[in-house]
Amino acid sequence: MASLTGQSPGLAEQLQLQLLEDAIPESRVLIIMTGGTICMRPSPSGFVPARGFQEQCLARVPTFNNGSPASMMDVVVNAAGEVRAHPSLRTPQTAYGRRVHYTVFEFEELLDSSSIDAKGWAEIARAVERNYTLFDGFVILHGTDSLAYTCSALSFMLQNLGKPVILTGSQAPMLELQNDATDNLLGSLVVAGHFMIPEVCLYFNNRLFRGNRSIKVAASDFAAFDSPNCPPLAVTTSMRTNVNWELVNRPRSLEHFRITTNLDTTHVACLRIFPGIKPEMVDAVLKLDGLRGLVLETFGAGNAPSGQDNAMTKVLADAIKRGIVIVNVTQCMTGSVSPVYAPGMSLSRAGVVAGLDMTTEAALTKLSYLLALPDSTPEWVAKSMSVSLRGELTEVSQPAFRHPDGALPERVQSLTVLGYAIAQGDLERVQEIVTQEHYWLLNDADYSGNTPIHLAATSQSINILQYMLLQGGSVHLRNQNGRTPLFLAANAGLSEHVLLLRKSGAHLHSDERAAAQLLAQRRPGVWRLAGIERDEGPENS
Ligand code: ASN
């Protein structure tokens, strides 16, 4: 440890420096390695994924390892809930005054992403679910070839997501001298460790995209991805990462995080229309054994050739009558499918669903997700395809959302007024402020790091807490003492508040469990509701 005076430090100074080090807050991030170029090494048969990413690529690099004493991090590694201690690393302190404490969990089989399928997506979703309460955020390392599909699929598979899930990869391997892997991984770690963006995102070349809006646009450029119909959620510059909080989606229900894993990719197809395509060709695809859904990539604003005597339209209408869901997306990079021209209009009259501005990747994975849901009917799936489930399409204008970014200029006043209304249990006033305020305040923090959800967690009116949770306030943000709203509610002995927060997916952070256990000795009842059992082990519910 370096001394402030340049000489070797005495014991007292060492202790002081250690205390200063320990006072730096940390975020816990799990990196899930699925394969891809980022971890690849050359072999006689071309580049192949290689194991040992943490030791080989990260442990020796100062930006990924601040050299703090080795420590272990628990990771749940399988369906039986087996917990394995993994060696972990810490980044140096970031521009936001934190360190990211992380470990890499490598899948048994590392893939070139061109070989991933619904089974691989399910494995990723399960790894996130099993470790959800142990980490603040997740970074998924993945090949770039099918990355946009995986992002889209995961966005539908992860429901009521309350924490960031950031996918990234690279165009050149981490061990190549000139690579994009270092920046992509570091940027993803910073986002996952600092910003409450509870969405499945893709971070690449200094930009953070909504996962289900992104497409791969370049085979070898470092700027490999774009999100033509949705601006980036964040951009990293030399100064900082600027988050566009108005665009960030929030889970707005009183439900736990959960996953759906059985996407039906085997009964869907995608067909690109071209000038001269024959109706018989389209009919042949639509008559594939067991086909349940088709994504039709059409011209411009959603137009397809109608064929002689409207033969194409008839083929499509017949398939829809047989129960096949057909979704219309545009071949263009930007813009939306809308029935402005006669050919587009006749498709919509035949029952073809307008996929609006969805990417093909999003349309295909959404179709696979909806068709696999229990009790889904073709009519219901068709209707749901035009509705935004995870921000994958532009439907109507969404409410804007704003999150703390270090500065609280003109919003401090509203935050204070909101604080008073919460303290007085005045639900009507709270609703008024939250509805009228230009920026959403619910995830803003006051001088002590308390968000309105922290305040509501101990307010006399449970209805205020419920209202705020339904507006998308985060249950995972921690105040300056590292406390979650759940901790505060339990500490105040408010069982009803605790139950409501738990229902909404709240859990105690691993850093506050030791204190919670001590407090539970005096008040076991309410702390049990908060998730503290007598024989404490890692919590995964
Ligand atoms: N073929 C690689 C993959 O998708 C491409 C990459 O990651 N850049 O796994």
CATH number reported for the structural domain that contains residue 513 in this entry: 1.25.40.20
Q: Does residue 110 share a domain with residue 39?
A: yes
Between vectors from CA 128 to CA 185 and to CA 386, what angle results, nearest 5°?
A: 95
Is residue 483, in this structure, part of any structural domain at all? Answer: yes
Q: Does residue 271 share a domain with residue 183?
A: no
Alpha carbon of 197 to ligand 1 centroid (Å) = 26
Is residue 80, in this structure, part of any structural domain at all? Answer: yes
Which atom of ligand 1 lies closest to the CA of 49? 9
Whether the Cβ atoms of residue 306 and residue 312 lie closer than 8 Å to each other: yes
Alpha carbon of 37 to ligand 1 centroid (Å) = 5
Is residue 427, in this structure, part of any structural domain at all? Answer: yes
- Within 13 Å, how many C-alpha atoms sit on residue 254's CB side? 14
Which residues span the domain enclosing 338? 265-384
Is residue 16, in this structure, part of any structural domain at all? Answer: no
Which atom of ligand 1 lies closest to the CA of 145? 4
Alpha carbon of 173 to ligand 1 centroid (Å) = 10
Of the candidates 37, 94, 168, 241, the residue annotated as catalytic is 37
Give percent helix, percent strand, percent coil of the chain, each to the nearest 5: 35, 15, 45
Is residue 11, in this structure, part of any structural domain at all? Answer: no
Among 145, 150, 216, 225, the mutation site with the greatest number of ligand 1 atoms within 8 A of its Cβ is 145
Is residue 4, in this structure, part of any structural domain at all? Answer: no
Alpha carbon of 362 to ligand 1 centroid (Å) = 19
Q: Does residue 202 share a domain with residue 306?
A: no
Q: Does residue 269 share a domain with residue 254?
A: no
Confidence category of residue 525, pLDDT binned at 50, 70, 90: very high
pLDDT of residue 354 exceeding 80: yes
- Average pLDDT value for residue range 501-510: 95
Segment 42-56, tens digit of pLDDT: 999 999 999 999 999
pLDDT of residue 541 exceeding 50: no
Confidence (pLDDT) at 88: 98
Q: Does residue 58 share a domain with residue 176?
A: yes
Alpha carbon of 159 to ligand 1 centroid (Å) = 27
Domain C-terminal end among 196, 224, 259: 259
Q: Does residue 471 share a domain with residue 375?
A: no
**What is the bridge-based pairing of β-strands 158-159 and 258-259?**
antiparallel
Give the integer Cα–Cα distance in Å for 33 and 462.
Answer: 41
- Average pLDDT value for residue range 453-464: 93
Q: Does residue 218 share a domain with residue 72?
A: yes
Q: Does residue 299 share a domain with residue 379?
A: yes
Domain C-terminal end among 236, 259, 282: 259
Q: Does residue 285 share a domain with residue 367?
A: yes
| Residue 99, domain CATH | 3.40.50.1170
Among 34, 47, 114, the mutation site with the greatest number of ligand 1 atoms within 8 A of its Cβ is 114
Task: Please name the residue whose Cα sits nearest to atom 8 of ligand 1.
Answer: 171
Q: Which residues line ligand 1 (CB under 6 A)?
A: 36-37, 112-114, 143-145, 169, 171
How many folded domains does the chain comprise?
3
Is residue 540, in this structure, part of any structural domain at all? Answer: no
Q: Does residue 229 share a domain with residue 193?
A: yes
Please say if 377 is a catalytic residue.
no
Task: Please name the residue whose Cα sits nearest to atom 3 of ligand 1.
Answer: 143
Which atom of ligand 1 lies closest to the CA of 35? 9
pLDDT of residue 447 exceeding 90: no
Whether the Cβ atoms of residue 352 and residue 328 lie closer than 8 Å to each other: yes
pLDDT of residue 397 exceeding 50: no
Among 45, 109, 112, the mutation site with the greatest number of ligand 1 atoms within 8 A of its Cβ is 112
Q: Does residue 520 share a domain with residue 492?
A: yes
Confidence category of residue 3, pLDDT binned at 50, 70, 90: very low
pLDDT of residue 401 exceeding 60: no
Alpha carbon of 45 to ligand 1 centroid (Å) = 15
Specify the pTM. Answer: 0.85
Confidence category of residue 324, pLDDT binned at 50, 70, 90: very high
Domain C-terminal end among 239, 259, 279: 259
| Residue 348, domain CATH | 3.40.50.40
The percentage of the chain sitting over the pLDDT mark of 70, rounded to a whole number, equals: 91
Whether the Cβ atoms of residue 332 and residue 314 lie closer than 8 Å to each other: no
Q: Does residue 461 share a domain with residue 329?
A: no
Is residue 108, in this structure, part of any structural domain at all? Answer: yes
Between vectors from CA 409 to CA 407 and to CA 413, what angle results, nearest 5°?
A: 125
